[in-house]
Amino acid sequence: MRFTLSLCRKNLIGRPARACAMLLLTAFLSFSIFGGSVAILSLRNGLEGLESRLGADVIAMPYEAKTKFDLNTALLQGNPGYFYMNRSYLDQIAGIEGVEKVSAQLYLASASASCCSYAVQIIGFEPDTDFTIQPWIRESYSGTIGEGDIVIGANISMPVSRTLTFFGMDCTVVAQLESTGTALDNAVYGNIDTIKRLIAASEERGLNLFSNINPDTVISSVLVKVYDDYDAEAVKDYINVHVRHVVATQSKNMIAGVADGLSGASRIVIALIAAIWALCLCIMMIANTLLMNERRREFAILRVAGASRCRLGGLVMAESALIDLIGSVLGVALGALIVFPFTGAIRHGIGLPYVLPAYGTVAMLVVASLLLTVLAGSLTSAIAAVRISRLDTGVILREG
């Protein structure tokens, strides 16, 4: 065994061009497996997280919001913007048949000025009735969100002082939310009393496009939870027909476009991985065949020197395993260097929810990528080893 490893090492060092070519091939194979698997799982994690965050079956907003935004993407873009309607619509929608729960939200966008730490979307919720944001907050914070307290999205840097200022008002950061892979990670969340104070502060500074509104009598949206035995689409249609100046949309319509995009992206990634696998296996097979033909006299001399057919096959397999192992490690390392530091750029580039898998899952993907790459290399080298075992030593040595 020691002799075989020593001979493998000498063969690889003595032929660096050949060794590097095979090394690059296996590195590319393991890189595609690891990087593609992480991408697919990240897309699926993003969609699952987004579905759990929306929570409501139907979302109702003032009709003027429809003229400014695509309602099926507005909340996912994290920028619902400025629009308000009278709070009386909350009770009107709550009385519709089939509606189990309703909760109001109040939106405000901070300014990119000295009065604000960040230019972000600020979303206010009512703690007593909220069923969408607080379950998300409880994943990272079990306390009460009081007036003046805020929770920041995953993409906002946690300040050392745990204080952010909006319109001259200092707010205490009590927690940071888990990532959803969408622009919701760029938003700030607080209870509705905090948002009312911020609206008043923004009006005092002339930074609110809506003048002369009373924060105590307006809301921006109504989130609706429908009973299980009722049709959410029917409730949405009833709101659109019977509640004047209000437009409603289903949460699943917001998810549908994202899910379609995710499905398409996943299919493309899977197809690319399959194509790369097929191409790399073909190239490895051809390369091993050419290399074996090139080394026919070398193997014939080893046979004359007393090496058995099994020893020659083992030599080929050992060389291949050594190259495959080193190449697969390099490929996985390269994939990690590209996938993890540039997660934000990838998310922005594909325009879809993108949340990296847990560390345990990543470790499993690393092991699986290494094993699959080494097995693929071993398969092609095994075929070459079988061919070597059939060589006629005498014929080879008489050639030339």
SS3 23: helix
Give the pLDDT score at 314.
Answer: 66
The β-bridge partners of 352 are none
DSSP E strands, 144-235: 149-152, 163-166, 169-176, 188-191, 218-219, 221-226
How far apart CA 77 and CA 74 sit, in angstroms, is 5
Cα–Cα distance, 245 to 60 (Å, whole number): 10
Token code pair at residue 157: 């840097």
- Torsion sign, CA atoms 141, 145, 148, 154: positive
pLDDT of residue 133: 83
The tokens of 193 are what?
Answer: 């009393």
Name which of 252, 223, 383, 238 is nearest 317 in CA terms: 383
Q: Give the DSSP H/E element, type plus range, for residue 212.
A: none
Indicate the DSSP class of residue 209.
Answer: S
Q: Report CA Rg, the chain.
A: 31
Q: Which of 185, 187, 217, 224 is nearest to 200 (CA)?
A: 217
Q: What is the pTM of this model?
A: 0.61
Residue with tokens 């929810």: 353
Mean pLDDT by 10 residues, the chain (400 residues): 56 66 81 84 74 75 74 53 85 92 88 77 89 82 88 87 90 86 80 89 75 81 89 90 88 61 70 76 72 66 62 69 84 88 73 76 88 80 67 55
* CA pair distance 343, 338, nearest whole angstrom: 8
Please name the residues in contact with 387: beta carbons below 8 A apart, sequence gap of 6 or more: 289, 292
Q: What is the spatial distance between Cα 172 and Cα 62, in angstroms, rounded to a whole number?
A: 30
User: What pLDDT, on the 0 to 100 scale, is given for residue 385?
Assistant: 64
Residue matched to tokens 């660096």: 16
Question: Residue 77: what pLDDT?
Answer: 53
Nearest Cα to 102, choosing from 254, 227, 255? Answer: 227
Question: Which tokens in the block code for residue 361?
Answer: 């899952």
Tell me if 352 sits within 8 A of 262, measured CB to CB.
Answer: yes
Closest CA relative to residue 73, chosen from 264, 345, 352, 267? 352
Indicate the angle between helix axes 2-14 and 309-339, nearest 10 degrees: 60
